Amino acid sequence: VGGWAWNNDTAILARGEVAAVEPESDAGRPFLLAAVRLDGWPEMHVVSLRLAPQPVRFDFWSADSWRTYANIRRKHRQELAMILHHLEAFPGDAPLVIAGDFNAPAGDAIFELLRPKYADAFAESGRGWGCTLPNRFPLLRIDQVWTAGQIEPLATCTAVSQTSDHRLLIADLQLRSR
């Protein structure tokens, strides 16, 4: 038995019950927040996200190019801050997962918004290269999984995708014992 929830650009699929926490009325919202119930686990909250895409520009001599990149970095911070604001309602030890396309490479300053509460699953349990973009010759780790509360990453890896320009990101997670 499985469940799912989706909005215009993200989805959550699980072997259990999945219920969107809020109506997906805002088509411009870059994330989906759902309550997920799996057998033997307490209810957890999962965020599937896709932050605004990065521009692809090669005119680095242009001041407009640098303004464009500065603007997208500000937008990413605003989008992630909005997501974290929605998660403030949950208890500090509640199992939480934030996963998806951050459209920012690992090590970007945006991830400081997640620390120290959230942990990067690949940094804790990664195997292999870890980069997801582009699929055929991955150089950037823009797809990530971050966990908090009682969730501990066991193993995180990537796999070639047949249907996307990104590689698949696979994270095996377990509930921490108290």
Could you give the CA distance from residue 93 to residue 73 in angstroms, rounded to a whole number? Answer: 30
Asked if residues 12 and 18 have their Cβ atoms less than 8 Å apart, the reply is: yes
pLDDT tens for each residue of 150-159? 899 999 999 9
pLDDT tens for each residue of 14-57? 999 999 887 555 667 899 999 999 988 889 999 999 999 988 88
Could you give the CA distance from residue 132 to residue 169 in angstroms, rounded to a whole number? Answer: 7
Global confidence as pTM: 0.92
pLDDT tens for each residue of 71-90? 999 999 999 999 999 998 88
Residue % of the chain over a pLDDT of 70: 96
CA distances from 10 to 36, 59, 95, 130, 136 (A): 15, 31, 20, 21, 22
pLDDT number for residue 26? 60
pLDDT number for residue 92? 76
Handedness of CA 126, 132, 135, 137 (dihedral sign): negative
